[in-house]
Chains A and B, each alone.
Chain A
Protein backbone atom coordinates (compact mmCIF):
# COMPACT_ATOMS: atom_id res chain seq x y z
CA UNK A 1 0.00 0.00 0.00
CA UNK A 2 1.37 3.38 -1.07
CA UNK A 3 0.12 6.56 0.52
CA UNK A 4 -0.52 9.64 -1.62
CA UNK A 5 -1.62 12.92 -0.11
CA UNK A 6 -4.52 14.42 -2.05
CA UNK A 7 -2.78 17.81 -1.98
CA UNK A 8 -0.37 16.33 -4.53
CA UNK A 9 -3.39 15.54 -6.69
CA UNK A 10 -4.64 19.13 -6.39
CA UNK A 11 -1.23 20.47 -7.40
CA UNK A 12 -0.97 18.07 -10.34
CA UNK A 13 -4.45 18.92 -11.66
CA UNK A 14 -3.75 22.63 -11.36
CA UNK A 15 -0.48 22.42 -13.29
CA UNK A 16 -2.00 20.11 -15.91
CA UNK A 17 -4.95 22.46 -16.52
CA UNK A 18 -2.59 25.39 -17.07
CA UNK A 19 -0.15 23.41 -19.24
CA UNK A 20 -2.90 21.86 -21.38
CA UNK A 21 -4.32 25.30 -22.18
CA UNK A 22 -0.98 26.75 -23.28
CA UNK A 23 0.94 23.93 -24.91
CA UNK A 24 -0.27 21.70 -27.72
CA UNK A 25 1.10 18.16 -27.82
CA UNK A 26 3.91 17.25 -30.20
CA UNK A 27 1.59 14.83 -31.99
CA UNK A 28 -0.80 17.62 -32.84
CA UNK A 29 1.91 20.09 -33.85
CA UNK A 30 3.24 17.43 -36.18
CA UNK A 31 -0.25 16.84 -37.63
CA UNK A 32 -0.75 20.58 -38.21
CA UNK A 33 2.66 20.88 -39.93
CA UNK A 34 1.80 17.88 -42.09
CA UNK A 35 -1.51 19.56 -42.94
CA UNK A 36 0.24 22.75 -43.96
CA UNK A 37 2.45 20.71 -46.29
CA UNK A 38 -0.28 18.55 -47.83
CA UNK A 39 -3.58 20.49 -47.89
CA UNK A 40 -4.62 21.14 -51.47
CA UNK A 41 -6.53 24.36 -50.80
CA UNK A 42 -4.28 27.45 -50.59
CA UNK A 43 -6.65 28.99 -48.04
CA UNK A 44 -6.50 25.75 -46.08
CA UNK A 45 -2.69 25.80 -46.06
CA UNK A 46 -2.81 29.36 -44.74
CA UNK A 47 -5.18 28.24 -41.97
CA UNK A 48 -2.68 25.55 -40.93
CA UNK A 49 0.11 28.13 -40.93
CA UNK A 50 -1.94 30.44 -38.69
CA UNK A 51 -2.82 27.60 -36.31
CA UNK A 52 0.86 26.75 -35.91
CA UNK A 53 1.59 30.44 -35.34
CA UNK A 54 -1.22 30.53 -32.76
CA UNK A 55 0.30 27.56 -30.94
CA UNK A 56 3.70 29.29 -30.87
CA UNK A 57 2.26 32.57 -29.52
CA UNK A 58 0.29 30.68 -26.88
CA UNK A 59 3.34 28.77 -25.69
CA UNK A 60 5.81 31.65 -25.74
CA UNK A 61 3.57 34.50 -24.55
CA UNK A 62 1.52 32.44 -22.07
CA UNK A 63 -1.83 33.20 -23.71
CA UNK A 64 -4.32 30.33 -23.81
CA UNK A 65 -4.42 28.53 -27.17
CA UNK A 66 -8.15 29.28 -27.29
CA UNK A 67 -10.29 31.64 -25.24
CA UNK A 68 -12.58 28.67 -24.61
CA UNK A 69 -10.42 27.04 -21.95
CA UNK A 70 -13.02 24.33 -21.72
CA UNK A 71 -14.97 22.37 -19.23
CA UNK A 72 -12.32 20.36 -17.37
CA UNK A 73 -12.86 16.65 -17.87
CA UNK A 74 -10.56 14.67 -15.60
CA UNK A 75 -9.84 10.98 -16.07
CA UNK A 76 -8.36 9.26 -13.04
CA UNK A 77 -6.74 5.84 -13.19
CA UNK A 78 -6.42 5.02 -9.52
CA UNK A 79 -4.12 2.15 -8.62
CA UNK A 80 -5.87 -0.21 -6.22
CA UNK A 81 -2.76 -0.32 -4.01
CA UNK A 82 -2.89 3.44 -3.41
CA UNK A 83 -4.20 4.81 -0.14
CA UNK A 84 -5.26 8.43 -0.55
CA UNK A 85 -4.85 10.54 2.59
CA UNK A 86 -5.58 14.11 3.60
CA UNK A 87 -9.02 14.48 2.08
CA UNK A 88 -11.41 13.31 -0.62
CA UNK A 89 -10.20 12.58 -4.16
CA UNK A 90 -13.00 14.47 -5.89
CA UNK A 91 -12.61 17.53 -3.66
CA UNK A 92 -8.89 17.55 -4.39
CA UNK A 93 -9.51 17.46 -8.15
CA UNK A 94 -12.08 20.25 -7.98
CA UNK A 95 -9.63 22.35 -5.96
CA UNK A 96 -6.96 21.76 -8.61
CA UNK A 97 -9.30 22.90 -11.37
CA UNK A 98 -10.37 25.95 -9.36
CA UNK A 99 -6.75 26.98 -8.68
CA UNK A 100 -5.55 26.23 -12.20
CA UNK A 101 -8.26 28.27 -13.89
CA UNK A 102 -7.82 31.20 -11.51
CA UNK A 103 -4.03 31.33 -11.31
CA UNK A 104 -3.56 30.44 -14.97
CA UNK A 105 -5.82 33.26 -16.22
CA UNK A 106 -8.05 30.69 -17.90
CA UNK A 107 -11.64 31.46 -18.84
CA UNK A 108 -14.30 30.17 -16.50
CA UNK A 109 -16.89 28.72 -18.83
CA UNK A 110 -19.34 26.85 -16.62
CA UNK A 111 -22.81 28.07 -15.74
CA UNK A 112 -26.12 26.96 -14.26
CA UNK A 113 -27.95 25.30 -17.15
CA UNK A 114 -31.20 27.21 -16.59
CA UNK A 115 -30.28 30.59 -15.10
CA UNK A 116 -27.00 30.60 -17.12
CA UNK A 117 -25.23 32.15 -14.11
CA UNK A 118 -21.49 31.47 -14.26
CA UNK A 119 -20.26 29.21 -11.44
CA UNK A 120 -17.28 31.57 -11.19
CA UNK A 121 -14.42 29.09 -10.88
CA UNK A 122 -14.91 26.62 -13.74
CA UNK A 123 -16.02 23.89 -11.37
CA UNK A 124 -17.48 21.37 -11.15
CA UNK A 125 -15.14 19.37 -13.36
CA UNK A 126 -16.48 16.15 -14.85
CA UNK A 127 -14.51 13.31 -13.26
CA UNK A 128 -14.24 9.69 -14.39
CA UNK A 129 -12.40 7.38 -12.00
CA UNK A 130 -11.31 3.87 -12.90
CA UNK A 131 -9.67 1.50 -10.42
CA UNK A 132 -6.63 -0.11 -12.03
CA UNK A 133 -3.88 -2.47 -10.85
CA UNK A 134 -0.76 -0.98 -9.26
CA UNK A 135 0.21 1.77 -6.84
CA UNK A 136 0.17 4.81 -9.07
CA UNK A 137 -2.38 7.49 -9.94
CA UNK A 138 -2.70 8.69 -13.52
CA UNK A 139 -4.54 11.97 -14.02
CA UNK A 140 -5.53 13.17 -17.48
CA UNK A 141 -6.92 16.70 -17.62
CA UNK A 142 -8.92 17.42 -20.77
CA UNK A 143 -10.17 21.00 -21.24
CA UNK A 144 -13.11 20.33 -23.58
CA UNK A 145 -14.38 23.24 -25.63
CA UNK A 146 -18.09 23.91 -26.06
CA UNK A 147 -18.06 24.48 -29.81
CA UNK A 148 -16.93 20.99 -30.72
CA UNK A 149 -18.82 19.30 -27.88
CA UNK A 150 -22.07 20.89 -29.17
CA UNK A 151 -21.57 19.18 -32.53
CA UNK A 152 -21.17 15.71 -30.99
CA UNK A 153 -23.93 13.10 -31.20
CA UNK A 154 -25.05 9.73 -29.84
CA UNK A 155 -27.04 7.59 -32.26
CA UNK A 156 -28.90 4.48 -31.11
CA UNK A 157 -28.98 2.56 -34.37
CA UNK A 158 -30.90 -0.59 -35.18
CA UNK A 159 -28.54 -3.58 -35.49
CA UNK A 160 -29.75 -3.90 -39.11
CA UNK A 161 -28.02 -0.60 -39.88
CA UNK A 162 -24.67 -2.39 -39.53
CA UNK A 163 -21.33 -0.94 -40.52
CA UNK A 164 -22.88 1.01 -43.39
CA UNK A 165 -25.21 2.72 -40.93
CA UNK A 166 -22.32 3.59 -38.62
CA UNK A 167 -20.30 5.13 -41.47
CA UNK A 168 -23.29 7.14 -42.61
CA UNK A 169 -23.84 8.54 -39.09
CA UNK A 170 -20.20 9.49 -38.64
CA UNK A 171 -20.11 11.34 -41.96
CA UNK A 172 -23.51 12.95 -41.33
CA UNK A 173 -22.39 14.22 -37.92
CA UNK A 174 -19.24 15.78 -39.38
CA UNK A 175 -21.10 17.26 -42.35
CA UNK A 176 -23.78 18.84 -40.18
CA UNK A 177 -21.10 20.27 -37.90
CA UNK A 178 -19.45 22.00 -40.86
CA UNK A 179 -17.29 24.92 -39.79
CA UNK A 180 -18.79 25.09 -36.28
CA UNK A 181 -16.41 22.81 -34.32
CA UNK A 182 -13.20 24.47 -35.61
CA UNK A 183 -11.94 22.04 -38.23
CA UNK A 184 -9.52 20.41 -38.86
CA UNK A 185 -11.13 18.19 -36.26
CA UNK A 186 -10.36 14.91 -34.57
CA UNK A 187 -13.29 12.50 -34.62
CA UNK A 188 -13.73 10.17 -31.66
CA UNK A 189 -16.08 7.28 -32.39
CA UNK A 190 -17.50 4.96 -29.74
CA UNK A 191 -19.25 1.86 -31.02
CA UNK A 192 -21.17 -0.48 -28.71
CA UNK A 193 -21.73 -0.52 -24.96
CA UNK A 194 -24.73 1.39 -23.72
CA UNK A 195 -26.05 4.89 -24.47
CA UNK A 196 -23.59 6.58 -22.08
CA UNK A 197 -20.77 4.08 -22.53
CA UNK A 198 -20.66 4.75 -26.27
CA UNK A 199 -20.16 8.45 -25.55
CA UNK A 200 -17.41 7.71 -23.04
CA UNK A 201 -15.69 5.38 -25.51
CA UNK A 202 -15.78 8.19 -28.07
CA UNK A 203 -14.38 10.73 -25.63
CA UNK A 204 -11.55 8.41 -24.56
CA UNK A 205 -10.73 7.82 -28.22
CA UNK A 206 -9.86 11.53 -28.49
CA UNK A 207 -7.02 11.07 -26.01
CA UNK A 208 -5.05 8.73 -28.25
CA UNK A 209 -2.00 10.24 -29.89
CA UNK A 210 -2.84 11.78 -33.26
CA UNK A 211 -1.02 9.81 -35.93
CA UNK A 212 -0.93 6.62 -33.86
CA UNK A 213 -2.36 3.41 -35.22
CA UNK A 214 -5.20 1.61 -33.49
CA UNK A 215 -3.73 -1.59 -31.95
CA UNK A 216 -6.73 -3.54 -33.29
CA UNK A 217 -6.04 -4.10 -37.02
CA UNK A 218 -9.76 -4.24 -37.83
CA UNK A 219 -10.36 -0.87 -36.17
CA UNK A 220 -7.18 0.57 -37.69
CA UNK A 221 -8.55 -0.22 -41.15
CA UNK A 222 -11.93 1.29 -40.25
CA UNK A 223 -10.27 4.44 -38.96
CA UNK A 224 -8.51 4.94 -42.28
CA UNK A 225 -11.71 4.32 -44.20
CA UNK A 226 -13.74 6.69 -42.00
CA UNK A 227 -11.06 9.38 -42.31
CA UNK A 228 -11.17 9.15 -46.09
CA UNK A 229 -14.97 9.44 -46.06
CA UNK A 230 -14.96 12.41 -43.67
CA UNK A 231 -12.36 14.18 -45.76
CA UNK A 232 -14.50 13.82 -48.88
CA UNK A 233 -16.99 16.28 -47.42
CA UNK A 234 -14.82 19.19 -48.58
CA UNK A 235 -15.44 21.21 -45.38
CA UNK A 236 -11.70 21.75 -44.95
CA UNK A 237 -9.63 23.79 -42.48
CA UNK A 238 -11.76 26.46 -40.74
CA UNK A 239 -14.64 25.25 -42.91
CA UNK A 240 -13.38 27.31 -45.84
CA UNK A 241 -13.12 24.33 -48.19
CA UNK A 242 -10.35 21.77 -48.49
CA UNK A 243 -9.28 18.16 -48.22
CA UNK A 244 -8.37 18.06 -44.54
CA UNK A 245 -11.60 18.33 -42.58
CA UNK A 246 -10.28 15.87 -40.01
CA UNK A 247 -6.73 15.11 -38.88
CA UNK A 248 -7.72 11.71 -37.53
CA UNK A 249 -10.58 9.36 -36.73
CA UNK A 250 -10.11 7.27 -33.58
CA UNK A 251 -12.45 4.39 -32.78
CA UNK A 252 -13.11 2.50 -29.54
CA UNK A 253 -15.45 -0.48 -29.65
CA UNK A 254 -16.97 -2.91 -27.14
CA UNK A 255 -19.82 -5.43 -27.20
CA UNK A 256 -23.39 -4.19 -26.91
CA UNK A 257 -26.85 -5.59 -26.23
CA UNK A 258 -28.28 -7.88 -28.93
CA UNK A 259 -31.04 -5.31 -29.49
CA UNK A 260 -28.71 -2.31 -29.82
CA UNK A 261 -26.08 -0.63 -31.91
CA UNK A 262 -25.00 2.54 -30.07
CA UNK A 263 -22.69 4.87 -31.99
CA UNK A 264 -21.28 8.03 -30.45
CA UNK A 265 -19.36 10.67 -32.37
CA UNK A 266 -17.41 13.03 -30.16
CA UNK A 267 -15.94 15.86 -32.15
CA UNK A 268 -12.76 17.57 -31.03
CA UNK A 269 -11.51 20.87 -32.42
CA UNK A 270 -7.95 21.16 -33.72
CA UNK A 271 -6.93 22.51 -30.32
CA UNK A 272 -6.99 19.02 -28.86
CA UNK A 273 -5.77 19.76 -25.38
CA UNK A 274 -5.01 17.12 -22.82
CA UNK A 275 -2.27 16.70 -20.25
CA UNK A 276 -1.37 13.52 -18.46
CA UNK A 277 0.37 13.33 -15.09
CA UNK A 278 1.41 10.19 -13.23
CA UNK A 279 1.89 10.25 -9.45
Chain B
Protein backbone atom coordinates (compact mmCIF):
# COMPACT_ATOMS: atom_id res chain seq x y z
CA UNK B 1 0.00 0.00 0.00
CA UNK B 2 1.33 3.46 -0.82
CA UNK B 3 2.36 5.31 2.32
CA UNK B 4 3.08 8.92 3.10
CA UNK B 5 6.36 9.48 4.91
CA UNK B 6 7.72 12.74 6.26
CA UNK B 7 11.50 13.04 6.05
CA UNK B 8 13.75 15.66 7.57
CA UNK B 9 17.27 16.18 6.22
CA UNK B 10 20.02 15.12 6.73
CA UNK B 11 19.05 11.53 5.92
CA UNK B 12 20.49 8.39 7.46
CA UNK B 13 20.91 4.94 5.90
CA UNK B 14 17.93 3.86 8.01
CA UNK B 15 15.75 6.63 6.55
CA UNK B 16 16.65 5.45 3.05
CA UNK B 17 16.23 1.74 3.77
CA UNK B 18 12.70 2.33 5.04
CA UNK B 19 11.55 3.77 1.70
CA UNK B 20 9.80 1.72 -0.97
CA UNK B 21 8.84 2.64 -4.49
CA UNK B 22 5.47 4.36 -4.64
CA UNK B 23 5.81 5.90 -1.18
CA UNK B 24 4.90 9.58 -1.07
CA UNK B 25 7.73 11.43 0.66
CA UNK B 26 7.26 14.91 2.08
CA UNK B 27 10.72 16.43 2.23
CA UNK B 28 11.57 18.88 5.00
CA UNK B 29 14.69 20.81 5.92
CA UNK B 30 17.71 21.88 3.91
CA UNK B 31 18.20 20.58 0.38
CA UNK B 32 20.56 21.68 -2.39
CA UNK B 33 19.86 22.47 -6.04
CA UNK B 34 22.14 21.56 -8.91
CA UNK B 35 21.68 20.80 -12.59
CA UNK B 36 23.90 20.27 -15.62
CA UNK B 37 26.58 22.95 -15.32
CA UNK B 38 26.91 22.75 -11.51
CA UNK B 39 27.28 18.97 -11.69
CA UNK B 40 30.07 19.33 -14.20
CA UNK B 41 31.91 21.74 -11.91
CA UNK B 42 31.49 19.48 -8.88
CA UNK B 43 32.84 16.47 -10.72
CA UNK B 44 35.71 18.52 -12.17
CA UNK B 45 36.64 19.52 -8.61
CA UNK B 46 36.64 15.87 -7.55
CA UNK B 47 38.86 14.97 -10.50
CA UNK B 48 41.29 17.70 -9.42
CA UNK B 49 41.24 16.42 -5.83
CA UNK B 50 39.66 19.65 -4.56
CA UNK B 51 36.98 19.98 -1.87
CA UNK B 52 33.37 20.61 -2.89
CA UNK B 53 31.59 23.85 -1.94
CA UNK B 54 28.92 21.83 -0.09
CA UNK B 55 29.17 18.77 2.14
CA UNK B 56 26.86 16.25 0.49
CA UNK B 57 26.83 13.65 3.26
CA UNK B 58 23.25 12.79 4.14
CA UNK B 59 21.94 15.46 1.80
CA UNK B 60 19.31 15.66 -0.94
CA UNK B 61 20.03 17.19 -4.32
CA UNK B 62 17.11 18.70 -6.23
CA UNK B 63 17.63 18.90 -9.99
CA UNK B 64 16.11 22.32 -10.62
CA UNK B 65 16.92 25.64 -12.21
CA UNK B 66 14.31 27.96 -10.70
CA UNK B 67 12.89 31.01 -12.43
CA UNK B 68 13.78 34.37 -10.82
CA UNK B 69 11.93 35.44 -7.68
CA UNK B 70 9.62 38.41 -8.01
CA UNK B 71 10.45 41.17 -5.49
CA UNK B 72 9.46 40.08 -1.99
CA UNK B 73 9.25 36.42 -2.93
CA UNK B 74 11.58 33.56 -1.98
CA UNK B 75 11.84 31.96 -5.41
CA UNK B 76 10.06 31.65 -8.74
CA UNK B 77 8.76 28.45 -10.27
CA UNK B 78 10.83 25.47 -9.14
CA UNK B 79 9.90 22.10 -10.61
CA UNK B 80 12.26 19.24 -11.44
CA UNK B 81 14.35 19.02 -14.60
CA UNK B 82 14.99 15.75 -16.44
CA UNK B 83 17.41 13.63 -14.44
CA UNK B 84 19.15 11.52 -17.11
CA UNK B 85 21.39 14.45 -17.94
CA UNK B 86 22.91 14.17 -14.45
CA UNK B 87 23.45 10.39 -14.79
CA UNK B 88 27.12 10.71 -15.85
CA UNK B 89 27.83 12.58 -12.59
CA UNK B 90 25.45 11.04 -10.04
CA UNK B 91 27.40 7.89 -9.02
CA UNK B 92 30.40 9.96 -7.91
CA UNK B 93 28.19 12.15 -5.72
CA UNK B 94 26.40 9.12 -4.28
CA UNK B 95 29.80 7.70 -3.37
CA UNK B 96 30.40 10.85 -1.31
CA UNK B 97 27.29 10.19 0.77
CA UNK B 98 24.50 11.96 -1.15
CA UNK B 99 21.36 10.17 0.05
CA UNK B 100 18.66 11.29 -2.36
CA UNK B 101 18.06 13.02 -5.66
CA UNK B 102 14.85 14.77 -6.69
CA UNK B 103 14.08 14.98 -10.39
CA UNK B 104 11.91 13.52 -13.12
CA UNK B 105 12.43 10.78 -15.69
CA UNK B 106 14.20 7.46 -15.67
CA UNK B 107 17.76 6.91 -14.44
CA UNK B 108 20.58 4.91 -16.04
CA UNK B 109 21.26 1.37 -14.79
CA UNK B 110 24.60 2.50 -13.34
CA UNK B 111 22.87 5.18 -11.24
CA UNK B 112 20.31 2.66 -9.98
CA UNK B 113 23.20 0.32 -9.14
CA UNK B 114 25.03 3.11 -7.31
CA UNK B 115 21.89 3.77 -5.25
CA UNK B 116 22.02 0.14 -4.14
CA UNK B 117 25.75 0.27 -3.39
CA UNK B 118 25.67 3.52 -1.42
CA UNK B 119 22.13 3.33 -0.03
CA UNK B 120 20.33 6.18 -1.71
CA UNK B 121 16.97 6.86 -3.32
CA UNK B 122 15.62 8.71 -6.32
CA UNK B 123 12.54 10.80 -5.65
CA UNK B 124 10.28 12.00 -8.45
CA UNK B 125 8.59 15.38 -8.35
CA UNK B 126 5.88 16.22 -10.86
CA UNK B 127 7.45 17.77 -13.93
CA UNK B 128 5.81 20.96 -15.08
CA UNK B 129 4.32 21.78 -11.68
CA UNK B 130 6.89 24.46 -10.88
CA UNK B 131 4.42 27.01 -9.51
CA UNK B 132 2.86 24.45 -7.17
CA UNK B 133 6.19 23.02 -5.96
CA UNK B 134 7.56 26.51 -5.28
CA UNK B 135 4.96 26.89 -2.52
CA UNK B 136 6.94 24.38 -0.41
CA UNK B 137 10.14 26.44 -0.53
CA UNK B 138 10.58 28.67 2.51
CA UNK B 139 14.12 29.95 1.98
CA UNK B 140 16.56 30.07 -0.91
CA UNK B 141 20.14 31.32 -1.09
CA UNK B 142 22.92 30.81 -3.59
CA UNK B 143 25.84 28.97 -2.01
CA UNK B 144 28.05 28.37 -5.06
CA UNK B 145 28.51 29.27 -8.73
CA UNK B 146 26.44 32.44 -8.81
CA UNK B 147 27.76 33.07 -12.32
CA UNK B 148 25.69 30.12 -13.54
CA UNK B 149 22.47 32.05 -12.94
CA UNK B 150 19.57 29.57 -12.89
CA UNK B 151 22.15 26.77 -12.68
CA UNK B 152 23.84 28.06 -9.50
CA UNK B 153 23.83 25.79 -6.44
CA UNK B 154 21.15 26.97 -4.04
CA UNK B 155 20.50 25.99 -0.47
CA UNK B 156 16.76 25.65 -0.03
CA UNK B 157 14.74 25.20 3.13
CA UNK B 158 11.63 23.24 2.25
CA UNK B 159 8.48 22.29 4.07
CA UNK B 160 6.60 19.21 2.93
CA UNK B 161 7.97 19.24 -0.61
CA UNK B 162 5.89 16.49 -2.27
CA UNK B 163 7.78 13.66 -4.00
CA UNK B 164 7.29 9.98 -4.75
CA UNK B 165 9.92 7.22 -4.51
CA UNK B 166 10.86 6.18 -8.07
CA UNK B 167 13.95 4.09 -7.26
CA UNK B 168 14.52 2.65 -3.78
CA UNK B 169 17.88 1.36 -2.54
CA UNK B 170 17.02 -2.18 -3.62
CA UNK B 171 16.97 -1.59 -7.39
CA UNK B 172 13.20 -1.27 -7.83
CA UNK B 173 11.78 1.15 -10.40
CA UNK B 174 8.33 2.72 -10.14
CA UNK B 175 8.35 3.94 -13.76
CA UNK B 176 8.86 0.37 -15.01
CA UNK B 177 6.25 -1.03 -12.67
CA UNK B 178 3.66 1.68 -13.39
CA UNK B 179 4.07 1.32 -17.13
CA UNK B 180 3.79 -2.47 -17.01
CA UNK B 181 0.62 -2.19 -14.98
CA UNK B 182 -1.13 -0.09 -17.65
CA UNK B 183 0.55 -1.22 -20.89
CA UNK B 184 -1.82 -2.78 -23.42
CA UNK B 185 0.59 -4.15 -26.01
A63 to B119 Cα, complex, angstroms = 36
Interface residues on A, range: 35 or more
Interface string of B161-185 (1 = CB under 8 A from A): 0001000000000110111111111
Interface string of A225-262 (1 = CB under 8 A from B): 00000001111101111110000000000000000000
User: A107 to chain B: which residues have CB within 8 Å?
Assistant: 65-68, 76-77, 150
Given contacts A58-B77, A241-B178, contact A180 B106 (CB under 8 A): yes
Given contacts A63-B77, A67-B64, A109-B150, contact A232 B128 (CB under 8 A): no
Is A197 part of the binding interface, using a Cβ–Cβ cutoff of 8 Å?
no
The answer on a CB contact under 8 Å between A64 and B175 is no
Additional 20 contacts, C-beta under 8 A, given A41-B178, A239-B105: A53-B132, A55-B131, A61-B131, A63-B76, A64-B67, A64-B77, A67-B130, A105-B76, A106-B67, A109-B65, A118-B149, A145-B128, A178-B105, A179-B104, A180-B84, A182-B127, A233-B179, A234-B179, A236-B179, A239-B124
The answer on a CB contact under 8 Å between B106 and A232 is no
Other-chain residue from A54, A120, A147, A236 in contact with B178 (beta carbon distance below 8 A): A236
> What's the least CB distance linking B133 to chain A, in Å?
8
- Between-chain CB contacts (< 8 Å), 8 pairs: A57-B135, A66-B128, A66-B129, A67-B130, A236-B179, A236-B182, A240-B175, A241-B179
The answer on a CB contact under 8 Å between B65 and A180 is no
**Nearest-neighbor residue (CB-CB) of B162 within chain A:** A50
Residues of B at the A interface (CB closer than 8 Å) are: 36-37, 64-70, 76-79, 81-82, 84, 104-106, 124, 126-132, 134-135, 148-151, 164, 174-175, 177-185
Is A97 part of the binding interface, using a Cβ–Cβ cutoff of 8 Å?
no
The answer on a CB contact under 8 Å between A269 and B127 is yes
Is A81 part of the binding interface, using a Cβ–Cβ cutoff of 8 Å?
no
User: A68 to chain B: which residues have CB within 8 Å?
Assistant: 65, 79, 81, 130
